[in-house]
């Protein structure tokens, strides 16, 4: 116990590293896609319920890796649906819109990832992340909303009962940019907005309290561009899809971010000067991203084109650090400074019988030990969550009060530490085990991973 106390104490003091380039955080629309490294057992796969992170141009080879997997989010949210099962699988059909609260700093963690989902995502502490909300998960399984569906409906000028599913979101200079899953009439029924279009709620129409929107002016949304505009941007960009065919229509616009290249364009009605945006969408398969720069161009991050001109071949996914056979598109995207990515996962979240327990940690420093911290909780009542404490850690900011540990495993050349431990049975049904990885990062500070929960 003394050793554990000293380890946790050392977590509280860390020195951030200066950001120099843009990191891309993203989700995918469908399927299961392998990262370019192909390393790390379950961690080499990205699914629609996982969040990936890559620094384009950081190779060779550049490889996207998990920043947060569905089991991390499920542990953070607790048993929100009250079914008594804590390692929920999956956490949602897919994660939609993404936004990083801390942009341009190196301390962004999974607590700073704001998202929307396809279905209601209840958090055991308080609140539900609905398809029309943009929220993160805060300490003690609470929602941490940035803007909710009520305010968005008000700004759009649509009825409180109207269906609303946010597909894409970004925030710039206190203005909010959005795209939606469904086509709909907005502004009191006077404007038809398609699922490939984008609206902006201007900063002048939003009242902010910190990073949370608390009020909006009714019917204040302005169309940045309609779907026809998004189609024209794709056509002008001459980007190819995963087959090498030209993309001339966006389909459903799924991810938005401000283009770090700068510049501006006019809103559809000419009333607003808006920062250039980058976006992804249903038909930009191969993980392509385009920009509003110049009326339509392939987005460029850290000097790397986020797609291929169709005449020169397909867009493969390698530009975003995936294996070059990616057939799906991105579903959400956000930019930040380089992050401290240290993540834990397992292929055995549920252990109703004797089994070989699997652990995998990714993002560790090659050659250094990763230790698994753990705490067994009693038969949790439905709707419970794993409590944690602030730890001020640059990898994951809270500690789940572990009171035991498993022997350390050395991370391989890909920064992956993977282990298998026999479980012979005997733990009462319903008991849960919460785990975090702990390691020395770059010989500079002690890092904590995002947590996972196993259940017996």
Is there a single domain that holds both residue 403 and residue 276? no
Q: Where among 272, 301, 336 does a domain terminate?
A: 336
Is there a single domain that holds both residue 331 and residue 380? no
CATH number for the domain spanning 369: value is: 2.20.130.20
pTM over cut 0.75: yes
Asked whether residue 35 is assigned to any structural domain, the reply reads yes
Is there a single domain that holds both residue 327 and residue 347? no
Q: What is the pLDDT of residue 34?
A: 95
Sign of CA dihedral 254, 145, 199, 309: negative
Q: Which domain holds residue 407?
A: 2-11+341-455
Is there a single domain that holds both residue 293 and residue 350? no
Q: Where among 306, 336, 366 does a domain terminate?
A: 336
Is there a single domain that holds both residue 260 and residue 214? yes
Q: What is the pLDDT of residue 407?
A: 82
Does pLDDT of 19 surpass 80? Answer: no
Is there a single domain that holds both residue 262 and residue 281? yes
Is there a single domain that holds both residue 203 and residue 331? yes
User: Computed over its alpha carbons, how large is the radius of gyration of the chain?
Assistant: 22
Distance, in Å, from the CA atom of 124 to the CA atom of 42, rounded to the nearest integer, reads: 26
Is there a single domain that holds both residue 220 and residue 350? no
141 three-class SS: helix
Residue entry with tokens 């955080």 = 25
Q: What is the pLDDT of residues 104-163, one digit of tens each?
A: 556 789 999 999 999 999 999 998 999 999 999 999 999 999 999 999 999 999 999 999
253 three-class SS: strand
Q: How many helices (H) does the chain have, and how many strands (E)?
A: 4, 38
Q: How many domains does the chain have?
A: 2
Q: CA dihedral in degrees (72, 73, 79, 82; nearest 10)? A: -140
Does pLDDT of 3 surpass 60? Answer: no
Is there a single domain that holds both residue 128 and residue 89? yes
Asked whether residue 409 is assigned to any structural domain, the reply reads yes
Does pLDDT of 165 surpass 70? Answer: yes
Q: What is the pLDDT of residue 341?
A: 86
Asked whether residue 16 is assigned to any structural domain, the reply reads no
Q: Where among 336, 351, 375 does a domain terminate?
A: 336
Is there a single domain that holds both residue 408 and residue 358? yes
Q: What is the pLDDT of residue 59?
A: 77
């Amino acid at each position: 116990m003394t050793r554990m106390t000293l380890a946790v104490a050392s977590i509280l003091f860390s020195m951030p590293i200066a950001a120099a380039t843009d990191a891309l955080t993203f989700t995918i629309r469908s399927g299961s896609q392998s990262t370019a490294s192909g390393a790390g057992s379950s961690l080499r796969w990205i699914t629609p319920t996982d969040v990936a992170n890559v620094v384009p141009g950081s190779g060779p080879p550049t490889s996207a890796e998990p920043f947060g997997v569905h089991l991390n989010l499920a542990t953070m949210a607790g048993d929100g649906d009250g079914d008594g099962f804590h390692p929920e699988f999956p956490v949602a059909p897919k994660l939609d819109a993404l936004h990083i609260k801390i942009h341009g700093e190196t301390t962004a963690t999974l607590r700073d990832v704001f998202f929307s989902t396809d279905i209601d995502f209840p958090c055991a502490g308080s609140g539900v992340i609905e398809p029309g909300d943009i929220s993160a998960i805060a300490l003690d399984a609470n929602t941490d909303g940035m803007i909710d569906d009520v305010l968005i409906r008000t700004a759009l000028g649509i009825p409180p009962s109207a269906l609303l599913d946010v597909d894409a979101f970004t925030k710039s200079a206190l203005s909010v940019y959005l795209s939606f899953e469904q086509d709909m009439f907005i502004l009191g029924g006077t404007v038809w907005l398609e699922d490939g279009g984008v609206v902006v709620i201007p900063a002048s129409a939003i009242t902010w309290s910190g990073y949370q929107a608390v009020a909006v002016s009714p019917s204040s949304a302005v169309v940045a561009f309609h779907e026809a505009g998004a189609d024209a941007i794709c056509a002008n960009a001459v980007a190819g899809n995963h087959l090498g065919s030209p993309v001339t229509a966006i389909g459903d616009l799924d991810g938005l971010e401000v283009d770090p290249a700068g510049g501006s364009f006019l809103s559809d009605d000419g009333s607003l000067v808006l920062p250039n945006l980058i976006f992804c969408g249903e038909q930009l398969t191969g993980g392509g991203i385009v920009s509003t720069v110049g009326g339509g161009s392939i987005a460029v991050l850290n000097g790397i084109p986020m797609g291929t001109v169709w005449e020169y071949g397909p867009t493969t996914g390698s530009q975003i650090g995936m294996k070059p056979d990616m057939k799906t598109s991105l579903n959400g995207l956000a930019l930040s400074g380089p992050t401290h990515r240290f993540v834990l996962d397992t292929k055995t979240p549920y252990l109703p019988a004797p089994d070989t327990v699997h652990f995998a940690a990714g993002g560790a420093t090659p050659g250094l030990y990763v230790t698994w911290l753990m705490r067994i909780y009693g038969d949790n009542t439905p709707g419970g969550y794993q409590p944690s404490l602030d730890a001020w850690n640059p990898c994951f900011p809270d500690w789940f009060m572990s009171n035991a540990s498993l022997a350390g495993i050395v991370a391989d050349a890909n920064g992956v530490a993977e282990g298998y431990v026999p479980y012979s049975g005997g733990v009462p049904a319903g008991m849960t085990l919460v785990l975090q990885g702990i390691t020395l990062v770059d010989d500079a500070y002690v890092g904590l991973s995002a947590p996972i929960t196993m259940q017996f």
